Structure 1
């Protein structure tokens, strides 16, 4: 009886159903992860050619910063509406359209002849990349069992840093060996080739065939008809403190991602290709720190969920101390070591922030909560950080501007301290919200 209820498959698929069911989800993950690499390669290659564009087009640092921040700004503004559109229109079609758009826009960057044209092309890059993170991870998780969702989500998010490393390192090398225009063109071609493979291998029909049902209690509540109001994302003060603290802690990390190639070019006298390679080491430290700090937080908070707040605060203060001292001393090995330690912890709060948001929001709106955190990360950190430092650099010099950037951790830590103090009240609000689900369950 059970066997007869299974979908009819081709003879080839039926002969090895177990093997294909194991392999195909990982193929989906690999291709989605590859597109995420393309996403951040296209975004961060600009940082590698900052010195060349500044000289060739006589741009100010604030102009350079706007070219970087416009992408994060579009991501922050468009994540919600485009994610909702993708859910209605189809995730696979949406991801393909996004990847084609940011790849073509990156190609437009390669043929830009002025700051205004480059800014317009970067605007389109941001539009294309806006909802890829949220839609991409939703697609990946749909074909994996819930027990591995946390690990997969963490690995997927860290891919942004690794894509940044590749974009900065390869972009700088190509710019020196050939031209900065070829740096953008290479990223565009890579994205277009990958999306072509994605289009052939990943389809809505196959995803439905390999979809894994979510059997968590929260999913059952939603199936019974209860859905928490979207307003609850903003009426719990504790969650608001996470959004604020999590977004602000990305400010300095974003500065390091955008401005380290220029820092090495101006103060260590490195050519753009070598400056890109040196900066990529620090970008890699940022990404590695996100993973390791998340693992540390999971361990220390195993018996005390409130310890997530303490670890997040600690990461902010550690990065504040090491980066402030590092940018205040002269160039050399000591400075690089201090900056490296600071970079490692600079985005360490990302994992704890996501965990705290998940812990404080109802299951039925958890995806929206993560989207809100993404908006905060982009508007308060990834967009604001490089832009503010660019403006300050025009008036104070890049080194003094980067020396001031870590001070934002003080505001981030303060928000997290307030969130920790209100944590018990936040959990009580969540308990009250869950209690409201009980009357709705019998209503069919």
Structure 2
């Protein structure tokens, strides 16, 4: 059936419309596996540190830079391929690669081997998000795109939450190596499901007014320059990059902070904190997308960017309380409210960027966004926390990690400014 659809675009478009919900759910599940495989490392860091005798800086390298350089760097050529060829096949192959590499992490015997396998995870995951963004933008019209992207973005919080929960539980009983192996293998099975049931949609099928564009495919550099010359897109990318810098840093070392400073066991983090984060984050992501679609209908698309800025203002005090309190109860309550307000930004941000992107380079714009997000956010965030924590340890001891995370959280107003500015420019463009 899929082969016929690939050969006959009109059949593919009919199938794509019929399977729109299934496709969105499968792509969300792929994103879920992406973040589960990525963030399982966070709950295992203390065990890996003790087993392989690593420093916080080395843990930051494994959590961020080693993964991010290859993940982000390969995103551009993969996106270029996705703008020209079958996006579904790219996603299926990529999923199989990174899932296999996650399983191999469990076999690592030293830092170098674990570093190599983490690089392999980054190589595989480079083929997931840019083509997924492009497919979703083709399947859903602008007035429904933020909600669709928000559902897709729940893969982040659900994947991270379940990765922590499953990884911590398995590690508690069987060790960190088996946690890696057992979490990695199911993704290979999902890759087959994606290849069989996701249908490639016609490019621009949900943007009828410009779907008939037959102009030559813009070059990669032209697409890159065009994105950075769009001032609204520039501020959106800056906003989501700074937000990701903070988020990746705090998420990578969050379980370690709970264990070191608040006395949580790995099992308590896995069975109490992780499920709470998954539930609250999933609710926040979905409702944030629906709220974004509602405010755009009432006030215009620019209001989506301002909505995110307001929610981030609400989240910041709870983030600081979480890292400054010595009470485990207060910390968990503050964490819940912080996650509720802070987890709704991805859907509206990605939807706005895809709405600004020319149809024929949507995957490329997504890849450029992810390149910057991951090189700076994922690449430098966890590494910065590790380096700052190591630097503060002589004077602060075990509390060095806490204060490194407080310093990182203090960067949030910079991201808020860019969301506000993007809203201003979007409003001017619509006038």
TM range (shorter): 0.7 to 0.9
In structure 2, do the counterparts of structure 1 residues 389 and 40 end up closer, same or farther at CA, with 3 Å as the change threshold?
same
**Contact persistence 2:146–2:348 (CA under 8 A):** no
Could you tell me the TM-score, scaled by structure 2's length?
Answer: 0.83
**Contact persistence 1:250–1:346 (CA under 8 A):** no
Alpha-carbon distance between aligned partners in 2 of 1:103 and 1:220, rounded to the nearest angstrom: 35
**Contact persistence 2:20–2:139 (CA under 8 A):** yes
Aligned residue pairs, count: 408
Picking from 245, 256, 260, the partner of 2:250 is 256
Gaps of 5+ in 1: 1-6, 10-18, 429-444
Task: Determine the structure 2 residue equivalent to 1:435.
Answer: none
1:76 aligns with 2:72: yes
- Tell me which of the two structures has the higher relative contact order, counting C-alpha pairs closer than 8 angstroms and 6 or more residues apart: 2
In structure 2, do the counterparts of structure 1 residues 73 and 330 end up closer, same or farther at CA, with 3 Å as the change threshold?
same
Task: Determine the structure 2 residue equivalent to 1:16.
Answer: none
Q: How far did residue 88 of structure 1 move?
A: 4.1
Alpha-carbon distance between aligned partners in 1 of 2:171 and 2:143, rounded to the nearest angstrom: 44
Picking from 43, 54, 60, the partner of 1:65 is 60
**Contact persistence 1:75–1:127 (CA under 8 A):** yes
In structure 2, do the counterparts of structure 1 residues 225 and 395 end up closer, same or farther at CA, with 3 Å as the change threshold?
closer
Alpha-carbon distance between aligned partners in 2 of 1:140 and 1:353, rounded to the nearest angstrom: 14
Q: Residue by residue, what CA displacement relative to the aligned partner does 1:249-277 show, whole Å, maximum 9, x if unpaired?
A: 22222233222211222223232232223
Task: Determine the structure 1 residue equivalent to 2:270.
Answer: 276
Task: Determine the structure 1 residue equivalent to 2:369.
Answer: 373
Q: Secondary structure at the match of 1:214?
A: coil
Task: Determine the structure 1 residue equivalent to 2:228.
Answer: 234
1:106 aligns with 2:102: yes
Picking from 395, 419, 422, the partner of 2:422 is 419
Q: Secondary structure at the match of 2:41?
A: helix
Larger Rg: 1
Alpha-carbon distance between aligned partners in 1 of 2:16 and 2:331, rounded to the nearest angstrom: 50
In structure 2, do the counterparts of structure 1 residues 271 and 359 end up closer, same or farther at CA, with 3 Å as the change threshold?
same
In structure 2, do the counterparts of structure 1 residues 25 and 278 end up closer, same or farther at CA, with 3 Å as the change threshold?
same
Picking from 393, 407, 412, the partner of 2:410 is 407
Q: Residue by residue, what CA displacement relative to the aligned partner does 1:7-62 show, whole Å, maximum 9, x if unpaired?
A: 999xxxxxxxxx98887555544444333322222111111111101111221111
Alpha-carbon distance between aligned partners in 1 of 2:327 and 2:289, rounded to the nearest angstrom: 31
Q: Once superposed, what is the RMSD of the aligned Cα atoms?
A: 3.2
In structure 2, do the counterparts of structure 1 residues 272 and 137 end up closer, same or farther at CA, with 3 Å as the change threshold?
same
Task: Determine the structure 2 residue equivalent to 1:438.
Answer: none
Alpha-carbon distance between aligned partners in 2 of 1:345 and 1:261, rounded to the nearest angstrom: 20
Q: Residue by residue, what CA displacement relative to the aligned partner does 1:133-170 show, whole Å, maximum 9, x if unpaired?
A: 22234456667788755433321221222112111101
In structure 2, do the counterparts of structure 1 residues 211 and 424 end up closer, same or farther at CA, with 3 Å as the change threshold?
closer
1:136 aligns with 2:135: no
**Contact persistence 2:46–2:256 (CA under 8 A):** yes
Q: How far did residue 406 of structure 1 move?
A: 1.4
